[in-house]
Structure 1
Amino acid sequence: MSPELQAKVERLDTLLDSIAARHERVKLASSLAAEDMVLTHAILSRGVGIGIFSLNTGRLHAETLGMIERVKERYGYDIEQFHPQQDAVDAYVRDHGLNAFYESIDLRKSCCHIRKVEPLNRALSDVSAWVTGQRREQSVTRAELHEEEQDVPRGIAKFNPLADWSESDVWDYLKAFDVPVNPLHARGYPSIGCEPCTRAVRPGEDSRAGRWWWESRDTKECGLHITNIKIVEEAPSSAI
């Protein structure tokens, strides 16, 4: 491990300890992808008082779901799963079709709201802060990401401890600590969401290019990270 990465690891550990000390109830929202596995290891290997949950949308890859058992085997921890409300899913499929999200941004965001945002709101209903694995380097919608911010719509604090980490930092950490990783990463999926909305990326594309690839690059958020979207919408065109 390089001295630079060692310094980032020490700072990460200090930051997570500080978050847990400041907030009695705080959770990591895990996509079970690389960045969130860094945070999962940093939390569980050291017994930090931060809970971990995942949003089981009903349309995840089998490989992603398999990570829940791998975390349990490695750390003895059951990741809490939040599912969409079945009546809302049924109504969407009845009114629009199972894969209507390909037809328009509005229909895609509606599907994301049902399968991800509403379950997230339930997951965060009993906390005063949450933690994400977002990084500035991931996409244009995250370029102005802060390490600590206020989730105004939910009235809680939000922390992005890996905001200034590079992709190589993430993978060097995972290798150094032998952390389990989603096998989809080895198949060209740096960012992993629902199966029908995620593809492998091409050489030279940013890490989130495979998410909702049929949309323009500045709409690629699902609504979980509302503050990111607000920043992009309000930024001058030269900053996008």
Structure 2
Amino acid sequence: MTTLSELQLELSAKSPRDILKRALADYEQIAVSFSGAEDVVLVDMISKLSDAPKVFTLDTGRLHPETYRFLDRVRQHYQIKLEVYTPDATALEPFVAEKGLFSFYQDGHGECCGIRKIEPLKRALSGLDAWITGQRKDQSPGTRSTIPVVQADPAFTGRGETLVKFNPLANWSSEDVWNYIRMMEIPYNPLHEQGFKSIGCEPCTKATLPNQHEREGRWWWEEATKKECGLHSGNETTLES
């Protein structure tokens, strides 16, 4: 049986489409995590490889109105079933009652993201053997620069002992992503036309200046080394057999 280390070596120089084909061939219970520009590229590719691709998204309850419309536009454009995971009310309601809606400006985004993103993601992944993300190495030099195209995910668990994570766009640049979007004429979030390069929750995202890195618009009040929400906390861990 091929180990993940061997699979990474085999796929490291392959195209995103070839990586997706292999992922679909090797794993029956596999899904795309969808929210932004990179992810819609993956949705476009996988919709041409599978008649019924599994796609999910996390609705934190704090997204931009444009993002909600974008999610539904993609669902309709590709005629896919988009599985939406929302925060657990039994955790969210007491958190908001105690700390309000904007506590992250004072004590950091970790607790809020844990409730609104991490817990729903755990539910989304619980029935899977593998998942597919739109991570790119150049998205965040501090936390994503070494991500492989396939890895074991130590932060989350699926159906089996090892949850596998595919990052088909790891070696692509932002320019590659947008060239594909324009060439294929696929939907994208209109906020990108307003200077938003990386889009998350409305209170935690702002437009960036022309020469700023895309992640500088996320959690801008915090240190650069903390600009992750925990969805990809296993990036520092590489491959397991």
TM (norm. structure 1) is: 0.87
Q: How far off is 1:46 after superposition?
A: 3.3
CA 1:72–1:49 in 2, change beyond 3 Å: closer, same or farther?
closer
Selected match of 1:183 from 169, 190, 207: 190
Selected match of 1:204 from 170, 186, 211: 211
RMSD: 1.6
Pair 1:117 & 2:124 matched: no
Q: How far off is 1:49 after superposition?
A: 5.8
CA 1:22–1:127 in 2, change beyond 3 Å: closer, same or farther?
same
Contact 1:43 1:49 in 2 (8 A): no
- Secondary structure in 2 aligned to 1:142? coil
Q: How far off is 1:188 after superposition?
A: 0.8
**What residue is the counterpart of 1:14 in the other structure?**
18
Give aligned-pair identity as a percent.
Answer: 44
Q: How far off is 1:13 after superposition?
A: 1.5
Q: How far off is 1:193 after superposition?
A: 0.5
Cα deviations across residues 55-98 of structure 1 (Å, max 9, x unaligned)?
00000011111122211321111211000001211111111111
Selected match of 2:146 from 141, 144, 147: 144
Contact 1:16 1:48 in 2 (8 A): no
Cα deviations across residues 110-138 of structure 1 (Å, max 9, x unaligned)?
10010000000000000010110010111
Q: Which amino acid aligns with 2:194?
A: R
Contact 2:130 2:163 in 1 (8 A): yes
CA distance in 2 between counterparts of 1:134 and 1:68 reads 18
Cα deviations across residues 23-61 of structure 1 (Å, max 9, x unaligned)?
110011111x11011001001133266411000000001
Contact 2:15 2:168 in 1 (8 A): no
Pair 1:58 & 2:61 matched: yes
Contact 1:25 1:50 in 2 (8 A): no
CA distance in 2 between counterparts of 1:45 and 1:128 reads 21
Contact 1:131 1:161 in 2 (8 A): yes
Contact 2:54 2:81 in 1 (8 A): no
**What residue is the counterpart of 1:6 in the other structure?**
none
Q: How far off is 1:151 after superposition?
A: 0.4
TM (norm. structure 2) is: 0.87
Contact 1:20 1:50 in 2 (8 A): no
Q: Which amino acid aligns with 1:217?
A: A
The equivalences for 1:22-61 within 5 A come to 22-31=26-35, 33-47=36-50, 50-61=53-64
**What residue is the counterpart of 2:6 in the other structure?**
none
Q: Which amino acid aligns with 1:196?
A: P
- Secondary structure in 2 aligned to 1:13? helix
CA distance in 2 between counterparts of 1:89 and 1:133 reads 27
CA distance in 1 between counterparts of 2:169 and 2:201 reads 23
Q: Which amino acid aligns with 1:159?
A: F
- Secondary structure in 1 aligned to 2:16? helix
The equivalences for 1:75-114 within 5 A come to 75-105=78-108, 108-114=109-115
Q: Which amino acid aligns with 1:122?
A: R
Contact 1:38 1:173 in 2 (8 A): yes
